[in-house]
């Protein structure tokens, strides 16, 4: 450096200074612009994040709406399914009812009169004997329609538990038995037999679903039966077992028979009991609507 002129040295120094300060300025601008870019990037990222968050929120709102819609649809489907199930249930009940109606002998709920009574060949599908503890004459066999045996036994058992001695004095009678019985009455009572044991009455016995009750305490078999506790109990409770008095006092249909009870099923007996009405007073079409429920 010794040989270098002074001005040259100054020049070098000033160049150096310029370089140094220049570099410093450059560094500053560089950093500032970097910062600016970073800020811009940050702003962009923030906006981007906000936009994405907004989009997500919107998405979520849509999803929620879809969920609500789906839940609604599901509910509708479930309701429709319930409806369907109900319809199926109703239909199967109807089918059951129809099957029961078809399987039930319509004669069992038929009204009999002087012009319409059972065919002489009619016999119950199946008969069942009544336990001797509940029969009037122990040496005789008393039979009823097999499908009503359980109802009758429940009635007799409950009456016994109440301390009553209710017994069956007559139950199923075939056409021939009845004919013989009636001619027997004729011999004894002449033409009066018709009012004592008329066609209507014996038709019900031929069904196997009618029984004549008595109690050993009455003098004759039936006379005075309506004055007994057994009769009073029957008027209060027989309907619960499906039995009704066919010919109650004051009926316009046939003579009063307090001992003669017919099985018509719990549902119909209940209706008659509640309405204080009697079987023969009902329209046959109304009676027939109970056929499917006869043994319920």
DSSP conformation letters of the chain: -TTS-HHHHHHHHHHHHHHHHHHHHHHHHHHHHHHHHHHHHHHHHHHHHHHHHHHHHHHHHHHHHHHHHHHHHHHHHHHHHHHHHHHHHHHHHHHHHHHHHHHS-GGGG----SS----TT---S-EEEPPGGGBSSTTS--EEEGGGHHHHHHHHHHHHHTT---EEEE----HHHHHHHHHHHHHHHGGGHHHHS-HHHHHHHHHT-EEEEE-TTSSSSSTTGGGSHHHHHHHHHGGGGTEEESS-TT-SSS---TTEEEE--HHHHHHHHHHT--GGGS-HHHHHTTGGGTT-
Q: How far is the CB of 262 from Zn ion (least distance, A)?
A: 8
Q: How far is the CB of 204 from Zn ion (least distance, A)?
A: 7
Question: Of 175 and 292, which CB lies nearer to Zn ion in the complex structure?
Answer: 175
Q: How far is the CB of 207 from Zn ion (least distance, A)?
A: 11
Question: Of 201 and 265, which CB lies nearer to Zn ion in the complex structure?
Answer: 201
Question: Nearest residue to Zn ion, using CB?
Answer: 260
Question: Of 124 and 292, which CB lies nearer to Zn ion in the complex structure?
Answer: 124
User: Which residues sit at the interface with Zn ion, rule CB under 5 A?
Assistant: 212, 260
Question: Of 100 and 253, which CB lies nearer to Zn ion in the complex structure?
Answer: 253
Question: Of 260 and 271, which CB lies nearer to Zn ion in the complex structure?
Answer: 260
Q: How far is the CB of 235 from Zn ion (least distance, A)?
A: 16
Q: How far is the CB of 280 from Zn ion (least distance, A)?
A: 14
């Amino acid at each position: 450096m010794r040989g270098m002129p002074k001005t040259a040295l100054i020049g070098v120094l000033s160049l150096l200074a310029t370089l140094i300060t220049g570099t410093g300025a450059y560094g500053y601008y560089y950093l500032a612009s970097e910062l600016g870019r970073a800020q811009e990037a940050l702003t962009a990222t923030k906006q981007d994040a906000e936009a994405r968050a907004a989009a997500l929120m919107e998405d979520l709102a849509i999803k929620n709406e879809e969920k609500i819609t789906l839940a609604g649809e599901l509910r509708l489907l479930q309701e429709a399914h319930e409806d369907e199930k109900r319809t199926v249930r109703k239909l199967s009940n109807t089918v059951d009812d129809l099957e029961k109606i078809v399987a039930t002998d319509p004669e069992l709920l038929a009204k009999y009169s002087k012009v319409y009574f059972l065919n002489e060949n009619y016999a119950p599908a199946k008969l069942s004997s009544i336990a001797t503890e509940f029969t009037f004459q122990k040496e005789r066999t008393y039979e009823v329609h097999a499908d009503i045996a359980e109802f009758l036994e429940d009635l007799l058992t409950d009456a016994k538990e109440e301390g009553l001695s209710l017994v069956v004095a007559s139950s199923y009678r075939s056409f021939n038995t009845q004919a013989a019985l009636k001619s027997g009455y004729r011999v004894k009572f002449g033409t009066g037999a018709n009012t004592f044991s008329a066609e209507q009455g014996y038709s019900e016995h031929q069904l196997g679903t009618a029984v004549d009750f008595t109690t050993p305490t009455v003098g004759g078999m039936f006379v005075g039966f309506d004055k007994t506790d057994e009769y009073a109990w029957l008027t209060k409770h027989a309907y619960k077992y499906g039995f009704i008095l066919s010919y109650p006092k004051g009926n316009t249909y046939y003579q009063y028979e307090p001992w003669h009870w017919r099985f018509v099923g719990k549902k119909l007996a209940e209706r008659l009991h509640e309405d204080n009405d009697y079987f023969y007073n009902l329209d046959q079409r109304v009676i027939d609507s109970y056929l499917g429920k006869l043994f319920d």
